[in-house]
Chains A and B, each alone.
Chain A
């Protein structure tokens, strides 16, 4: 039989071009641009994974990506010097008197109250405790359910 390179060998081709072959060593390399240049779906195909559900995307195929993610994953917000966390919880907040609610991790420290977006490591809002003029607990109706809302007024 003769070797073939037919229509059905796309996966083998991708596997070779994306996962194997030579790469530049660090002193000259600026980028092995495979991931950013061609996107995830082709990488998955090259990894022999037919659907993203088949494995958790990072479980099996891209050790380096996983290592990177682990190394860079942030699990808590950066606090200021001498700042201490008093409590935190997942919740929603609104900056425009209840017109639009957003979700995030709420933190109360000895210095401030703030919301934190875990995936982007971003402070969503913050209020220094010393700026809070008034705290009111109100009962409100949200999506046809009663719930308590804490209102903070700052100067």
Chain B
């Protein structure tokens, strides 16, 4: 291998179902042509780079790259069905042969993962509640809280202080109880329509539209294409629940549901 060959790299977009080597057009980052490298009936979609990529010169360019990566994934999904999407920025050193032997080596896990994910896509479901509305609701439903509230109204601020604290604690407990009851209910309805869910652990994004509301749960959902409409209906019902709001985003390629770690550890 000479110097120039050593520099050659392939930017990898996805692993997908096809047995045909083909050019997918200039859908790649910086208008690079994307093509498939085939092993048996699976392929890696890549674009060729003469040398290691340079970092983005600014955030605008970085964003364009990320969007283009995702656009390419979308285009490929349209054409080949559900695929295994790669993280942004995966670059392999070598040529088509390198990739081919890598596909060969990992054929089994790739193939079974493609089968598992076939006909599905990833969606994100976020459920929010409005703390004010829920506080009103639990007060309306609880004679005990109402009684406490009436007592406090008739007292001076100083005297009512302890009772007010008591009221706050009990009201918050009632809210928590209500949330977990409804949460379980919502959860069951959602689970009936999805294959797999992963709760998001980190603080989730709350868009402007939902400001002032609190997040009940955020779930990444793997959904069969034929179940998307049903799931939409279930979420519509949750959305119509007083004090609740739902955000339903997707479809995404199944980024969150690829589980190949155990197969990779020994390669």
Measuring CB to CB, which residues of chain A are less than 8 angstroms from any residue of chain B? 1-6, 8-9, 11-14, 16-25, 27-34, 36-39, 41-42, 47-49, 60-61
Q: How far is the CA of A18 from the CA of B87 in the complex (A)?
A: 6
Listed stretches B133-141, B147-155, B172-180, B253-261; interface member? B253-261
Instruction: List 10 contacting pairs A-B, 8 Å CB cutoff, sorted by A.
Output: A1-B235, A1-B246, A5-B251, A8-B208, A13-B66, A22-B86, A23-B90, A27-B102, A29-B90, A31-B90
The answer, among A13, A28, A38, for a CB contact under 8 Å with B102, is: A28
- Residue of chain A at shortest CB distance from B229: A2
Are A2 and B252 within 8 A (Cβ)? no
Q: How far is the CA of A47 from the CA of B12 in the complex (A)?
A: 23
Q: Which of B17-25, B54-62, B183-191 makes up part of the contact surface? A: B54-62
B86→A33 contact, CB < 8 A: no
| Distance A96 CA – B43 CA, assembled complex (angstroms) | 64
Are the C-beta atoms of B256 and A16 separated by less than 8 Å?
yes
Return B182 CB to nearest CB of chain A, in Å: 18
In the complex, the answer to whether B66 meets A17 with C-beta atoms within 8 Å is yes
Q: Are A17 and B70 in contact (CB under 8 A)?
A: yes
Mark B86-117 against chain A: 1 for CB-CB distance below 8 A, else 0: 11111111100011001000100000000000
Contact across chains for B86 and A39 when beta carbons are under 8 A apart: no
For residue B262, which residues in chain A have a CB less than 8 angstroms away from its CB?
none
Distance, CA A54 to CA B19, complexed state (A): 48
The yes or no answer to B236 lying at the interface (CB within 8 A) is yes
With beta carbons under 8 angstroms apart, the residue of B56, B106, B236 that contacts A38 is B56
Decide: A31 near B66, CB < 8 A? Known: A5-B250, A12-B205.
no
Beta-carbon contact of A20 and B88 below 8 Å: no
Within the complex, the shortest CB–CB distance from B207 to chain A, in Å, comes to: 4
Evaluate contact between A22 and B59: CB separation under 8 angstroms. Answer: no
| CB of B195 closer than 8 Å to a CB of A | no
Q: Are A18 and B202 in contact (CB under 8 A)?
A: no
Kindly state the separation between the CA atoms of A19 and B220 in the bound complex, as whole angstroms.
Answer: 14
Contact call A17/B55, Cβ cutoff below 8 A? no
- Given A1-B235, A17-B255: A38 in contact with B70 (beta carbons within 8 A): no
| Contact between B123 and A23, CB atoms less than 8 A apart | no
B207 near A24 (CB under 8 angstroms)? Answer: no
Are A22 and B258 interface neighbours, CB within 8 A? yes
Cα distance, A1 to B246, chains bound together (Å): 9
- Of A1, A25, A38, A60, most buried by chain B (CB within 10 Å of CB) is A1
CB neighbours of B255 from chain A (8 A): 16-17, 20-21
Q: Answer whether residue B248 sits at the interface, using C-beta atoms and an 8 A cutoff.
A: yes
Besides A17-B255, A22-B85, 16 other A-B contacts (C-beta < 8 A): A2-B248, A9-B124, A16-B122, A21-B86, A21-B87, A22-B86, A22-B260, A24-B92, A25-B102, A25-B106, A25-B267, A34-B87, A37-B55, A42-B66, A48-B203, A48-B205
Contact between chains at B88 and A38 (CB < 8 Å): yes
